[in-house]
Each structure stands twice: as C-alpha cells, then as structure tokens.
Amino acid sequence: MRLLKGRAHDKNARVPIDNAHAPQKAGADRPFLLASPAMAAVLNNPPASKHWTFADLAQFDESERYEIYDGQLIPMAPSPDFHHQEIAANLHLLLSGFVRPRQLGKLVFAPADVVLSDDNVVQPDLLFIAKENLGIIQKQVHGAPDLVVEILSPSTLRYDRQNKLELYARFGVKEYWIVDPANRSLEILVFEGNRFAVHSIAAETGLAESKVLPGLSIDVAHIFGE
C-alpha cells in the first residue's frame, strides 16, 4: 500500500489479510531469546506437538517477553531501541491528553499481556480500553481492547502487518493503529464487518483521525519529533 503525504482518507480501502505467512517457529536456526535456566532446554528444543497457552507463560521469568499466536510461542526483543520508546512516549502523551480529561477509559503501554484466548496472547505497544469495556481488565487484559497500537520495526513489520492484523480482526479489536517510523506514517484501521478497513492515513505531515475516539486528530509530526 502506498502511503500518501499529508492527510488522506479512503473509507472504502480494504487491508488484505494474508494467512500464508505464519510466524516463524523457534528452533535450531532461530533460538528463543532470554530463556531462564529452568525453561532453556524446553524453549530451545520445543516438542514438535507443543501447543503453547497463557498458562505456560506463568513459568517464565518476568524479564522474558513472549507472545503466543495460535499456540506458537513468539519471542520478543529484550527491550526496544530508544527511538521506538520515544515514539511510544509521544503517542502515550498525545492519547492520554485526550482520554484522561474526558474520563473515556484506561490507556496503558507495553509490557501488558492481552489474553485474546488461551492460545493467543499479545503485548501491543499501547492499548486503550473504553470505560464501558473495563470489565475485561483483571491482572491482565482478558478480551479485545477497543484500540491497539503497534510500532513497526524491521524485525516485526510482517508480523504486525499480517499476523497481528488478522488476529486483531478475528477477536474484534475496533481500531488498530500502525505506526511506521521508516515512513514517518500513522495508519488508522477500523474494524468493519469481519475485517479492517483504512479509516485515516497521514505521513510526514498532516492529521490522522480516530473513529473510536471521536474528535481525536493526531498530527504525525508530533509522533516522530525531530
């Protein structure tokens, strides 16, 4: 999809979902990251039939970060780089400035487990849960947030654009923000019917507008800074 400079809205555009690119399983050619001693042998040599669940994550050290996609264990980087965290902080500041004064719900940033199902667990970079949906909050979030944000990196680009897009659509996330530092762009996708549709895009300059949070417009220049 070609990103446009400035403000662009195409409510009829559809985001294709490609299920052919499943997350790569860990193995000898792709070792898991940061395994605790108790789990190292299992993680680096998982049984071929192993179907991971949220209960398995309780065995991991808190410093270890994993997601689960349809029973597959997906290792995450130990910590994002500084630029990623700066973007996340800017987004949180912009969103919080809109959500908190209006008491619209809860806004948090990673790491926070979102348990979509027993074998699908994710950690979005940011997530918003509307006031009427706060019942999904327990020690973790059990259910679909109203809005999730993913900040792309070279290592997660395909996973975020394909697998997570499909997953968030499957479980009914209402709005998905894809932040692309390489293109200095923000894509806001909304769930319509059984898939995501492009609601608003801005790159380099201009505004991207939320549907879940009516009245919220994000100036992309304030996301990426200098």
CA geometry: angle 157, 159, 161, nearest 5 deg: 65
What DSSP designation does 107 have? Answer: E
Give the C-alpha separation, 133 to 28, whole Å. 42
Tell me the pLDDT band of 42, cut-offs 50, 70 and 90. low
Phi, psi angles (nearest 5°) of residue 122:
-130, 165
Give the C-alpha separation, 33 to 48, whole Å. 19
Mean pLDDT for the stretch of residues 57-62: 77
CB neighbour class for 199 (10 Å; exposed up to 12, middle 13-18, buried from 19): buried
Q: Which helix (H) or strand (E) holds 92?
A: helix 82-102
Q: Write down all domains in the chain, each with its CATH number in brackets.
A: 8-18+79-224 (3.90.1570.10)
Tokens representing 94 are: 């912009």
pLDDT above 90: residue 38 = no
Tell me the pLDDT band of 5, cut-offs 50, 70 and 90. very low
What is the largest distance, in Å, between two alpha-carbon atoms of the chain? 51
140-179, pLDDT tens digit by residue? 999 999 999 999 998 889 999 999 999 999 999 999 999 9
Residue type, 187: E
Residue type, 161: R
Tell me the pLDDT band of 46, cut-offs 50, 70 and 90. low
Nearest CA to 113 out of 160, 153, 148 is that of 148
pLDDT at residue 174, rounded to an integer: 97
Give the C-alpha separation, 182 to 30, whole Å. 25
Contact 176, 189 (CB under 8 A): yes
Query: Which conformational region is residue 90 in: left (phi greater than 0), alpha (psi within -120 to 50 degrees), or beta?
Result: alpha
Q: In a 3-state reduction of DSSP, which class is residue 38?
A: helix
Tokens representing 16 are: 């294709």
As separate numbers, helices (DSSP H) first and strands (DSSP E) second, the chain gives 6, 14
